[in-house]
């Protein structure tokens, strides 16, 4: 049984530099991103459009579309994913320190009148990029087995090590009731949860406002379900432009009632019957499907979409309007998608090589929360928000570097070796 302890008295955020730091850091990054992409739009538009591959391939049998290594890195996806991972840290810090009340201290929440957060924007951006790249991965795979092998090899190794770190290192270390913590019962449940990309913790953390060993990892399961969705659509010969567009239209309609910008979590009740509860909250799937399939649609229409400064400006205006006016929520996914992919394909060339030493965004996303929990537990919840953000980023990057070089990269090499043998 999971022990439920009363939450401690939440800390009050008194660090006045937090607001200034948030505005300077996140605002500066976003302004730099928008300015740089706008400045280089006219220069890159004709050159990149002329180099865009035009493929004649069927959906039912994955075509061996494999862009050159240099071509795969001619984008800013690595930079954007690192940026989104940092925005997640920025959004979680006040909540980790002061509970749900801390969310009111986020400047972006106040700007959108509570309708949108930096964390929402970061997660939506992750799913948009993932939808684009995963659809490309399907078309570069020899078969559905090859595709599934690559997806499992990319997600599971890093996640399993992060789950071990969160549950059996952080959870055991920060728990005062260690008797019976490591038992066959808890180990069995840990394996069951890990198999479906969830993190099981025998007890909740004590002495912190949010007693979770890893509160951000829940999205990994939803993302892998999206991977499976692409495979199922393709195997059923339904991974086409108009089928995906129709699904997006239905998902947008589901997003309009209830919560203003996302499908309501209460759309479907949380299942408490085993094994249905392992699927997390069903009401969240429409939101994640919407953004993932929007990214998928941008890949399917990659030979038709033109990334110009004028459309970019219109998309920025539509995005701002959508996060401020709930009746314009249907504009959020397509406008945000265009902003992301315009930035990825028109950003300055130095950002193309930001991940030359490794892809650390996945590891940073997985380890940032447990690192922050460790900092809060050691400091007895008395650390300021700005130091929490800074040290969480440093500690998370250290764990991400470890995860990439010792776990993720070796596993990916092995998967590619097996995949090449199958071909």
Q: What is the pLDDT of residues 279-321, one digit of tens each?
A: 777 778 888 999 999 999 999 999 999 999 999 999 999 999 9
In a domain, 4, yes or no: no
Other Cβ atoms less than 10 A from the Cβ of 350: the count is 10
pLDDT the model gives residue 34: 44
In a domain, 1, yes or no: no
Radius of gyration of the chain from its Cα atoms, rounded to whole angstroms: 21
Longest dimension (CA), the chain: 66
Element (H, E) at 342: helix 332-346
pLDDT the model gives residue 90: 93
pLDDT the model gives residue 71: 44
Report helix angle 41-51 to 309-324, nearest 10.
110
Q: Where are the alpha helices (DSSP H) in 203-331?
A: 218-235, 241-255, 285-300, 309-324
In a domain, 198, yes or no: yes
Smallest CA-to-CA distance from 122 within 340, 325, 343, 279 is with 340
In a domain, 8, yes or no: no
In a domain, 224, yes or no: yes
Query: Tens of pLDDT along 345-386?
Result: 987 666 667 777 889 999 999 999 999 999 998 888 888 899
pLDDT the model gives residue 410: 94
pLDDT the model gives residue 1: 37
Q: Rounded to whole angstroms, how far apart are CA atoms 304 and 334?
A: 15
Number of domains the chain is built from: 1
Domain that holds residue 364: 17-422
Q: What is the DSSP letter of 216?
A: S
Q: Are residues 53 and 136 in contact, defined by beta-carbon separation less than 8 angstroms?
A: no
In a domain, 134, yes or no: yes
3-state secondary structure of 14: coil
Q: Rounded to whole angstroms, how far apart are CA atoms 159 and 137?
A: 20
* Structure token digits, residue 321: 């309007």
pLDDT the model gives residue 420: 73
* Structure token digits, residue 136: 């490309």
In a domain, 2, yes or no: no
Q: Tell me, rounded to whole angstroms, the distance of Cα 352 from its chain centroid.
A: 20
Report helix angle 309-324 to 17-39, nearest 10.
150
Where the chain has pLDDT below 70, the residues are: 1-73, 176-180, 203-204, 255-278, 348-352, 421-423
Spatial CB neighbours of 97, under 8 Å, sequence gap ≥ 6: 10, 11, 13, 209, 376, 381, 383, 385, 388
Q: What is the pTM of this model?
A: 0.80
pLDDT the model gives residue 62: 41
Cis, bond preceding 159 (omega within 30 deg of 0): no
| Beta bridge partners of residue 3, listed in sequence order | 203
Q: Are residues 82 and 361 in contact, defined by beta-carbon separation less than 8 angstroms?
A: yes
Q: Rounded to whole angstroms, how far apart are CA atoms 378 and 393?
A: 17
Q: Rounded to whole angstroms, how far apart are CA atoms 5 and 364?
A: 29
In a domain, 5, yes or no: no
| Beta bridge partners of residue 203, listed in sequence order | 3
Element (H, E) at 131: helix 118-139
Q: Rounded to whole angstroms, how far apart are CA atoms 9 and 305?
A: 52
């Amino acid at each position: 049984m999971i022990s439920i302890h009363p939450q401690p008295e939440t800390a009050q955020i008194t660090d006045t530099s937090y607001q200034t730091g948030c505005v300077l850091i996140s605002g500066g990054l976003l302004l730099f991103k928008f300015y740089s992409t706008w400045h280089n739009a006219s220069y890159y538009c004709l050159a990149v459009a002329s180099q865009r591959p035009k493929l004649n391939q069927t959906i039912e049998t994955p075509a061996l579309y494999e862009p050159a290594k240099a071509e795969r890195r001619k984008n800013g996806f690595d930079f954007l994913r690192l940026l989104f991972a940092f925005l997640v840290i920025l959004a979680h810090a006040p909540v980790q320190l002061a509970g749900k009340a801390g969310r009111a201290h986020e400047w972006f929440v106040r700007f959108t009148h509570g309708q949108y957060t930096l964390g929402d924007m970061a997660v939506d951006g992750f799913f948009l990029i993932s939808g684009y790249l995963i659809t490309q991965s399907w078309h570069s795979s020899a078969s559905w087995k090859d595709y599934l092998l690559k997806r499992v090899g990319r997600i599971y190794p890093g996640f399993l090590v992060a789950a071990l770190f969160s549950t059996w290192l952080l959870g055991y270390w920060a728990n005062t009731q260690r008797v019976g913590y490591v038992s066959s019962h808890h180990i069995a449940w840990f394996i069951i949860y890990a198999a479906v990309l969830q993190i099981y913790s025998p007890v909740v953390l004590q002495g912190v406002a949010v007693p979770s060993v890893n509160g951000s990892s829940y999205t990994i399961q939803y993302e892998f379900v999206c991977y499976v969705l692409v495979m199922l659509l393709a195997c059923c010969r339904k991974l086409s432009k108009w089928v995906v567009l129709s699904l997006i239209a239905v998902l947008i309609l589901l997003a309009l009632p209830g919560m203003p910008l996302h499908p309501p979590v209460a759309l479907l009740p949380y299942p408490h019957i085993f094994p249905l509860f392992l699927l997390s909250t069903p009401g969240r799937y429409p939101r994640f499907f919407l953004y993932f399939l929007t990214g998928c649609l941008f890949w399917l229409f990659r030979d038709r979409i033109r990334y110009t400064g004028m459309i970019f400006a219109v998309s920025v205006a539509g995005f701002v309007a959508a996060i401020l006016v709930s009746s314009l929520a249907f504009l959020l996914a397509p406008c945000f998608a265009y902003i992301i992919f315009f930035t990825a394909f028109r950003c300055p060339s130095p950002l193309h090589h930001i991940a030359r030493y490794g892809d650390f965004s996945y590891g940073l996303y997985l380890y940032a929360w447990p690192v922050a929990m460790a900092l809060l537990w050691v400091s007895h919840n008395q650390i300021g928000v700005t130091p929490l953000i800074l040290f969480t980023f440093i500690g998370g990057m250290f764990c991400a570097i470890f995860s990439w070089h010792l776990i993720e990269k070796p596993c990916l090499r092995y998967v590619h070796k097996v995949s090449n043998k199958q071909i």
